[in-house]
């Protein structure tokens, strides 16, 4: 998404987590009001699964399937359990990573959101900045700013949700951060990375890149704990 920074924030525009627009609406109050609306139902649904509001979360998105998952860490097992899956209301671009500012692509890769990435005063209702470009993107010369998961059902390189759904997602993520999680991870994949689905892409120019993504995908599928992701010599590494 390309939006000019607010007056006085021109220098901050180089910060991955800088706000994306000016908005006179009271963001903190908006987030509080959203939490008041959705928290009772979320707490009830979490309790039914043996999970707790405010515990660490993890997000996975699948572009082809148009789905966003939120996982919550179980207090006893320390493994993450799938809490809820939402349909993505709108996304732009095609399968493949984001390469440059203005290309309209949704990124693919491994990202994370610290507290400063939360954007309650977004013009798209509620939002958080996924942290694109990450170290891998920068190593490969990829550019872009203000890539969000947000409400309002419009997207140019972002993942847009309906306002009621972003209220649930934002509230759960915000509670996890306030509960002590330093940041939550957001992993974005072109599709569910089964061996069968990957076999259909052997001639795709992004096949090699997607094989790296599959390593991270398989790690979580096996361990049910998001991997620690680093970049060495321009390649993702997982542990």
For the chain, domain boundaries: 26-238
Asked whether residue 161 carries a pLDDT value surpassing 70, the answer given is yes
Rg (CA), the chain: 17
Pair 208, 202: CB distance under 8 Å: no
Asked whether residue 17 carries a pLDDT value surpassing 50, the answer given is no
CATH number for domain 26-238, candidates 1.10.3720.10, 3.30.70.20, 2.40.440.10, 3.10.20.30: 2.40.440.10
Predicted local confidence at residue 155, as pLDDT: 85
Please state whether the predicted TM-score (pTM) of the whole model is above 0.85. yes
Catalytic annotation, residues = 150, 158
Using 50, 70 and 90 to split pLDDT, how confident is the model at 23? very low
Neighbours of 203 (CB within 10 A): 6
For residue 17, CA distances in Å to 8, 47, 145, 190 come to 16, 33, 9, 23
Please give the mean pLDDT across all residues of the chain: 91
Q: Residue holding tokens 């390649």?
A: 235
Using 50, 70 and 90 to split pLDDT, how confident is the model at 13? very low
Neighbours of 28 (CB within 10 A): 9
* H-helix or E-strand spanning residue 176: helix 163-178
Mean pLDDT (whole number) for 23-52: 90
For residue 137, CA distances in Å to 4, 128, 233, 234 come to 22, 19, 12, 9
Least confident of 60-64, 145-149, 152-156: 152-156
* H-helix or E-strand spanning residue 213: helix 207-223
For residue 124, CA distances in Å to 70, 91, 143 come to 20, 14, 22
55: tokens are 């515990």
For 103-131, what is each residue's pLDDT tens digit?
A: 999 999 999 999 999 999 999 999 999 99
């Amino acid at each position: 998404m390309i939006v000019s920074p607010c007056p006085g924030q021109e220098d901050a525009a180089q910060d991955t987590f800088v706000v994306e627009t000016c908005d006179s609406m009271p963001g903190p109050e908006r987030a509080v009001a959203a939490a008041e609306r959705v928290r009772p139902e979320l707490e009830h649904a979490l309790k039914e699964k043996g999970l707790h509001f405010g515990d660490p979360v993890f997000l996975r998105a699948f572009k082809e399937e148009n789905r966003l998952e939120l996982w919550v860490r179980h207090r006893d097992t320390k493994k993450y359990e799938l809490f809820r899956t939402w349909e993505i209301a709108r996304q732009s671009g095609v399968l493949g990573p984001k390469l440059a500012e203005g290309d309209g692509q949704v990124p693919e890769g491994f990202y994370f959101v610290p507290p400063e990435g939360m954007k309650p005063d977004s013009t798209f209702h509620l939002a958080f900045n996924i942290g694109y470009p990450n170290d891998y993107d920068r190593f490969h010369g990829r550019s872009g700013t203000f890539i969000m998961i947000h409400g309002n059902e419009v997207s140019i390189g972002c993942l847009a949700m309906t306002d009621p759904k972003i209220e649930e997602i934002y509230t759960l993520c915000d509670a996890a951060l306030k509960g002590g999680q330093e940041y939550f991870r957001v992993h974005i994949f072109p599709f569910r990375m089964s061996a069968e689905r990957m076999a259909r892409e052997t001639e795709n120019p992004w096949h090699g890149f997607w094989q790296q993504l599959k390593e991270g995908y398989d790690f979580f599928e096996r361990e049910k704990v998001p991997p620690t992701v680093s970049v060495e010599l321009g390649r993702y590494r997982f542990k």
